[in-house]
Amino acid sequence: MPEQWIFLNDEYVSKENAKISVYDHGFLYGDGIFEGIRVYSGNIFRMEEHMDRLYRSAKSIMLNMPYSREEFNNIIVKTVEKNEIEDAYIRVVVSRGVGDLGLDPYKCPKANVVVIVEPLAIFPKKLYETGLEIVTVATRRNRPDVLSPKVKSLNYLNNVLVRIEAHLANVSEALMLNDQGYVAEGSADNVFIIRDNVFYTPPGYVGALEGITRNAVIEIAKDLGYEVKEEPFTRHDVYVADEVFLTGTAAEVIAVVKVDGRTIGDGVPGIHTKKLLEKFRERVVSEGVKVFTKKAAENVS
Ligand code: PMP
C-alpha cells in the first residue's frame, strides 16, 4: 500500500503514479487555480472559506469545475482521511486540463483535479520564536487590473521572482510593493504591522490575496480588543512599526524582526504578535471540519 494517496481525477493513486499530460494547460500556460488548506489536529481549518475562494478564482477565469461544492468538499475530507494524517497541508490544484499546444482554453474539455495531502513546515520551528528577517524587493506585485492577485491562479511567476530576490539577499521571505510603492504582501503571505496598539494590513485594492489566515487574524485581534485598520502603508511605516508579522496557511503567524536591515522594535517577536499567535494556535485546533482517521478513532475509544 502506498504511503501517500493522491487524488487525481476521481482516483486515488500513489505519488509515483500521480502524473499529468504535458499538454495540460496548467503546465503549458499556468492556466489553472489552486488552494492551500491546513489540517490541525484532525480539523480542516476554514475549509469553506478556502473553497469559496477556489470557486471565486474559477469563476473569474471561466474554468468549469468538474465537481459540485459538496462533492469537492467530500473529496478533500476523504483524501485527508485516506492518508491517515492529522496535521498537514492540503494542496488543491485545478488546471484547465488537456488541450492542444495553442492557448485556446475552449480546446480543453475537462479540468484536471489534484489533491495532495502531506506534512508541512516551511520555516524551521525556531524561527517562530526568534522571528524572521526579510527584505523588500524590486519585483512589483502585479497590478489588480492586469492579473488580479485575488485570483489564486497557477501563474505564480511574480511570486517566484520574489523568492529568487529573497534568496539572493540571504533571507527566506520578502515583501512586494505595488506599482505605486505601497506595501502589498509577501511571496506567499499577507503582512501586518502594529503601531501604538493598532494593527494595520494593506486593503485588497493595494494588491494582495484575500488571505484566509489574514481574515482569521483580523477576527482574533478584534476579539482581543485591538483596533484593526485596512489601509495602505509604505516601507517607511514598516521600518518604524512596533511589530511586524506575516500570515499565511503555510507560514501561519510569524513575527518579522528585521526589514531591509532595520531592526523592528526590540528585534524579538513583540508582545502583541505573541498574544495573537497564542490565540491563533488555540483556535486552529478547536474549530474546523473534523476528519475521521484511525488515529482519531483510537483517541476517542
Ligand atoms: N498571499 C499570497 C500571494 C499567497 O500565496 C498566500 C498563500 N495562500 C497568502 C497571501 C496567504 O493566504 P492564506 O492565509 O489564505 O493562505
Does residue 263 surpass a pLDDT of 60? yes
**Interface TM-score (ipTM) > 0.95:** yes
Atom of ligand 1 nearest to the CA of 50: 15
Q: Are residues 111 and 164 in the same domain?
A: no
In total, how many domains does the chain have?
A: 2
| Residue 293 counted as domain residue | no
Does residue 102 surpass a pLDDT of 80? yes
Q: Are residues 144 and 76 in the same domain?
A: no
Q: Are residues 146 and 114 in the same domain?
A: no
Answer yes or no: is the C-beta of 209 below 6 A from any ligand 1 atom: yes
Q: Which residues make Cβ contacts (< 8 Å) with residue 257, sequence separation at least 6?
A: 130, 131, 132, 133, 244, 263, 264, 265, 267, 268, 269
**What CATH number is associated with residue 144?**
3.20.10.10
Q: How far is the CA of 248 from the centre of ligand 1 (A)?
A: 5
Q: Are residues 87 and 135 in the same domain?
A: no
Q: Are residues 20 and 105 in the same domain?
A: yes
Strand pairing category for 112-118 and 5-8: antiparallel
User: Mean per-residue pLDDT for 263-279?
Assistant: 96
Q: How far is the CA of 37 from the centre of ligand 1 (A)?
A: 10
Residue 46 · residue 216 · CB < 8 Å: yes
| Residue 295 counted as domain residue | no
Q: Which of the four pLDDT bands, split at 50, 70 and 90, describes residue 301?
A: very low
Amino acid in position 111: A
For residue 50, the Cα-to-chain-centroid distance in whole angstroms is 9
Q: How far is the CA of 190 from the centre of ligand 1 (A)?
A: 6
Does residue 12 surpass a pLDDT of 50? yes
Which residues on neighbouring strands pair with residue 177, listed in sequence order? 140, 183
Round to whole Å and give the CA distance between 239 and 253.
19
Count CB neighbours of 271 within 10 A: 12
* Atom 12 of ligand 1, nearest CA residue: 211
Round to whole Å and give the CA distance between 201 and 104.
38
Q: Assess whether 126 carries a catalytic annotation.
A: no
Does residue 296 surpass a pLDDT of 90? no
Q: Residue 281 has what pLDDT?
A: 93
Residue 293 · residue 300 · CB < 8 Å: no
Residue 178 · residue 141 · CB < 8 Å: yes
- Tell me the percentage of the chain whose pLDDT exceeds 70: 97
Round to whole Å and give the CA distance between 283 and 106.
43
Which residue among 69, 85, 118 closes a domain?
Answer: 118
Domain residues for the domain of 55 are: 5-118
Q: Are residues 274 and 168 in the same domain?
A: yes
Q: Are residues 167 and 25 in the same domain?
A: no
Q: Which of the four pLDDT bands, split at 50, 70 and 90, describes residue 298?
A: low
Residue 239 · residue 209 · CB < 8 Å: no
User: Mean per-residue pLDDT for 145-171?
Assistant: 95
Q: Is 244 helix (H, G, I), strand (E, B) or coil?
A: strand
Q: Are residues 102 and 135 in the same domain?
A: no
What does the DSSP 8-state code read for residue 79? H
Round to whole Å and give the CA distance between 295 and 211.
31
Q: Are residues 138 and 243 in the same domain?
A: yes
Answer yes or no: is the C-beta of 139 below 6 A from any ligand 1 atom: no
Residue length of the chain? 301
Residue 96 · residue 105 · CB < 8 Å: yes
Q: Residue 287 has what pLDDT?
A: 82
Q: Which of the four pLDDT bands, split at 50, 70 and 90, describes residue 218?
A: very high
Supply the mean pLDDT for the chain.
94
What does the DSSP 8-state code read for residue 188? S
Which residue among 95, 118, 141 closes a domain?
Answer: 118
**Among all chains, which residue has been given the C-alpha cell 488515529?**
295
Q: What is the pLDDT of residues 110-122, one digit of tens each?
A: 999 999 999 887 7
